[in-house]
Structure 1
Amino acid sequence: MDWLGLKAELLARGRVKVVGVLAKPYISSSTAGPGAGGRGSLFFSVDGQRVRLAVDPEADLTLVHEGMGRATIPFGGELVRGIIEPAPLHCPGQAYITLSEQCIFSCKYCAVPLRQGRVKSPDEVVGMVRSVLGEIDAISITSGVAGSVAEEEARAVEVVRLLVPFGLPIGVSIYPTPQTPRVLRAAGVAEVKFNLEAATPGLFAEMCPGQDWNLLWEVLEESVGLFGKNHVQSNVIVGLGESDEEMEAVVRRLCSIGVIPVLRPLAPGAGLAHFARPSAERLLRLHAVLKEALHEAGLDPAAARTMCAACAGCDLIPGRD
């Protein structure tokens, strides 16, 4: 099976049971987004291309760890051989750090508001990055909203200013205020990601109550002027109830203003635990649409240096998959 088809099938499954040699050193836990609070995840890589899978002892899919990171996944009558990539801070090659592990918003797909997570201090974040220098070539910062959106922006800016001396590209993904792109750029950020999350304004209002769809479009467009093409991303979740036509429309609109769409397969949980993950066939259809739209807009996710487009573990990313 070709990598693209295999990865789509693995993403459609989403979960893996790990057997064989103890793999705990390769399993990282998420403190943000739909996967927060789970049993952790791992990155399975074949010839330099990776997929991130949640660890679940009840999963139908099995990964056999043979030791020293070498692993196989029996799938489709074949034995897929690869490695489990180390993820020093949540992501291979990047320090991907969540500042506030709590949120005042209540997005239906997200487990963070259900938890009483920590808020990391700036010194703690600096120490975390320092501990993995030599293993990373980028830093990515994300966050919930612990108090207010403005306070979270100030927290991110303070952390970025302390991280700039490390000399690595820094990406930031937070819920924005109107001035967020400008203040992040002034602080030394290289790339940004402001997440639309849903393909239509109606779904956005339903899934992300209290947030501003129009504001996100405004800051995305402004960000392209500040950071340049290939350096602004936006996650859009696949599987919230949108049609393929609605997803294609938002993909093409994002590309038309210079933003790289990241099509994130829904991980059912929190208020959407009864939803289904999107099928491999649908993920492949939408990948083809995304690839064409990116090409027509002159965008290349392989040029991204931070965050999801640079990692490509959770999504099908043209130019990397």
Structure 2
Amino acid sequence: PLTQVKRPRFYDLYTKDGISYRKIALLHGSDCAASTVVQECFRWDDLKQRCHFCAIGVSLKDGTTIHTKSPAQLAEVMLAAKKLDGVTHVTLTTGTPNAPNKGAEYLGECAHAVKKATGLPVHVQFEPPEEMNVFEELKKQGVDNVGIHIESFDPEVRKRITPGKASIKEDTYFHAFDKAISVFGRNQVSTYVILGLGEDEELTVDKCNHVIKMGVYPFLVPLRPILNTYMANITPPSSEYLMRIYTKVVEMMNKAGINSEKSNSGCVKCSACSMQQFLEKNDKS
């Protein structure tokens, strides 16, 4: 049966310097606390580089969040979310800063603080780093799994919809996937694949199969148009289209043993953004 998720109690709290906990982290799904630790992307101000579906600068301008969340703030808020609302895992993401390794090091500092304070599994998300040894460092700091999001496997869509990120070659993503899997293991590396961007269906399924064989979880999510973005008025994909791709990709996942229930933390474990999980073969099915 469906149940409505109650408003989190940690939303009512404030830090000592008067910042609402809700501006530091949000509840995703029923039991995941998530935060964008740096609410800025170096591509945002360049309209020729910005991802067309992204709203990272909109929420900052609207005052619904703060620019940078400190490790101490995140630890404080995540502990409250655990105690008051039964949160069982944490997602830390970031806009891509103009910093070494795409902000992965700062994510590691934040993850370490959260892990020390709460003991909860922590998932972090960032672009492929320049230095692949960053994955070992993240593991040492308490990170449980990672998301490296290609957004689309269709090169034409990448050029049109994610023009800045399209400068990162597909092979660079695959190399990062491979290195991350060697550190965190199969089922603990994921990549967002947004459906409804005009992507080639056959190519998308084939590329999903490729990363599944590597041990990556391709997290298929429908485009969700956001106000004040380039794609605000785009019609989301039909349920028929989504189910057709879900069915094909999940069949491959089932054969390879790639499953959301095996994910330790993060978006895949939460799965609130996708119907993909309901087609997966697991111990309960």
What is the TM-score when the length of structure 2 is the normalising length?
0.78
Residue 78 (structure 2) aligned to one of 129, 133, 148: 129
Contact kept in structure 2, 1:141 and 1:170, CA below 8 Å: yes
Tell me which protein shows more strand as a share of its residues.
Answer: 1
The counterpart of 2:122, out of the listed 142, 164, 170, is 170
| Number of the residue aligned with 1:83 | 3
Task: Evaluate the alpha carbon distance shift between residue 189 and residue 229 of structure 1 in structure 2; reply closer, same or farther with a 3 A threshold.
Answer: same
Instruction: Give the distance between the partners of 1:194 and 1:234, measured in 2 at CA.
Output: 5
Match of 1:119 in 2: 68
| Residue in structure 2 matching 1:216, options 173, 176, 180 | 173
Give the SS at the match of 1:283. helix
Alpha-carbon contact 2:135-2:183 (below 8 Å) kept: yes
Deviation at 1:164, TM superposition (A): 2.1
Partner of 1:148: 99
Instruction: Report the equivalent of 2:142.
Output: 188
Query: Alpha carbon RMSD of aligned pairs, Å?
Result: 2.0
Flag structure 1 segments of 5+ consecutive residues without an equivalent. 1-46, 48-81
Q: Distance in 1 between matches of 2:98 and 2:179?
A: 25
Q: 1:221 to 1:265 in 2, by over 3 A?
A: same
Identity rate, percent: 24
Q: Partners of 1:136 and 1:260 in 2: how far apart? A: 23
Q: Decide which of 107, 128, 133 is 2:51's aligned counterpart.
A: 107
Post-superposition Cα deviations, 1:90-134, rounded to whole Å, max 9, x if no partner, equal: 212122111012211211111114444511112111111121123
1:233 equivalent to 2:190? Answer yes
Q: Whose helix proportion is higher, 1 or 2?
A: 2
Amino acid in structure 2 at the alignment position of 1:154: E
Counterpart check, 1:268 vs 2:217: no
Which runs of 5 or more structure 2 residues have no equivalent in the other structure?
A: 9-25, 44-49, 281-285
Count of aligned positions: 241
AA aligned opposite 1:118: H
**Aligned residue identity for 2:87:** I
CA–CA distance in structure 2, aligned partners of residues 158 and 305 of structure 1: 19
Match for residue 304 of structure 1 among 258, 263, 267: 263
CA shift in 2, pair 1:231/1:319, >3 Å: farther
SS of the equivalent of 1:85 reads coil
Cα separation, partners in 2 of 1:289 and 1:151, compared to 1, 3 Å: closer
What is the distance in 2 between the residues matched to 1:255 and 1:150? 25
